[in-house]
Amino acid sequence: MKEKVVLAYSGGLDTSVILKWLIDKGYEVVAYIADVGQAEDFEAACKKAEKAGASKIYLEDLKKELVTDFIFPAVKANAVYEGKYLLGTSLARPLIAKRQVEIARREGTKILAHGATGKVNDQVRFEMTYQVLMPQVKIISPWKNDEYLQTFQGRSDMIRYAEEKGIPVPATKDKPYSMDENLLHISYEAGVLEDPKFEPRKDMFLKTKDPEDAPDKPEELMIQFKQGVPVMVQNLSDGTVKSDPLELFQHLNAAAGRNGIGRVDMVENRFVGMKSRGVYETPGGTVLMAAHLDLEGLTMDREVKLIRDGLIPKYAQLIYFGFWYSPEMEVLTALMDKAQEHVSGKVYLKLYKGNVIIKGRESEESLYDQDIASMDIHGGYDQKDAVGFIRLHALRMKASARRLKYGPD
């Protein structure tokens, strides 16, 4: 009886070749396709998997779960890797891998396969999730297999193999870069982008309009949050209201995209030790992050925010490195949730030529007291209290100044 393997299948050349190669090695292959919001012809991908010999095909719609269980928690934590990357691919991979494990259990197998290469972060994200959620898993990673590497020295070898095996190969010319798309973003890397000074062509970008060509009139929105989670968006320009999490996010993607918002070009540090250039489009996520961060200024205690902000880089790093299901991630998530208990309210903003411009905010959980903050009225704040406050805080620095002979004494 053949051993059964569940393959994370995209329908592209790489995983189509891997599917057939696994069959040639004597495995029964179940193809699993995850719909995480990518622009994909899923019917064609299913037909390709069937033609390549898959015994069964799963097409799983994971879009809503991606929004509620992965994107929104990242927004609550203001999770940004190395100051720029909103973690689009990083957030989708643990979800894809989790469902792959669930399918493997349904199919009665502990063998899982993926098409990530040995140079990229995705191999870690897939395999760490496999091993945590299915400790007895057997992982097949062809790009780390000597026989596979000897057989396929390059793309031409894969195309020739596909033609020999009757696997449909796209006739279109290869793009000079690689892409990964989901509901949160599109990433572009490799090929011509490996030169860090190379400027991407305008026609590369698919989710966002060039800011220079974006509308001349701003588009105005209101985003409402409850305990750090987006619960409603109202487009003040056209009257549209969305409260379903998936529809809300899709509306923000469309609005931000047509206004040229969410482009990032950076050189980042991969987990495997090398630097890599990535170009990203994250329209809706960029707007949500800006609105959420602004609302925190109104509703979060200063010291709570300081502690939480110090942990954001680690939280983002855990996501990027593939540690979504780690014990430390569980602890940090609990802290992030606690810190968001009072982050509820509305943020008013406008989108204009690549910019998210905050107009105002309001909240029943506000810590802002206009009477105390006002320069025009006393409002119960005795300014003379600042004398002792400043003296107390200066004691330590005065002592250091004497020791270092900064002062006249």
What are the catalytic residues?
Answer: 14, 93, 122, 178
Instruction: Considering only CA atoms, give the Rg of the chain.
Output: 25
Only one residue has tokens 């490799």, namely 190
From residue 397, give the alpha-carbon distance in Å to each of 387, 402, 407: 16, 9, 11
Per-residue 3-state assignment (H helix, E strand, C coil) for the chain: CCCEEEEECCCCHHHHHHHHHHHHCCCEEEEEEEECCCCCCHHHHHHHHHHHCCCEEEEEECHHHHHHHHHHHHHHCCCCECCCECCHHHHHHHHHHHHHHHHHHHHCCCEEECCCCCCCCHHHHHHHHHHHHCCCCEEECHHHCHHHHHHCCCHHHHHHHHHHHCCCCCCCCCCCCEEEECCCCEEEECHHHHCCCCCCCHHHCCCCCCHHHCCCCCEEEEEEEECCEEEEEEECCCCCEECCHHHHHHHHHHHHHHCCCCEEEEEEECCCCCEEEEEEECHHHHHHHHHHHHHHHHHCCHHHHHHHHHHHHHHHHHHHHCCCCCHHHHHHHHHHHHHCCCCCEEEEEEEECCEEEEEEEECCCCCCCHHHHCCCCCCCCCCCHHHHHHHHHHHHHHHHHHHCCCCCC
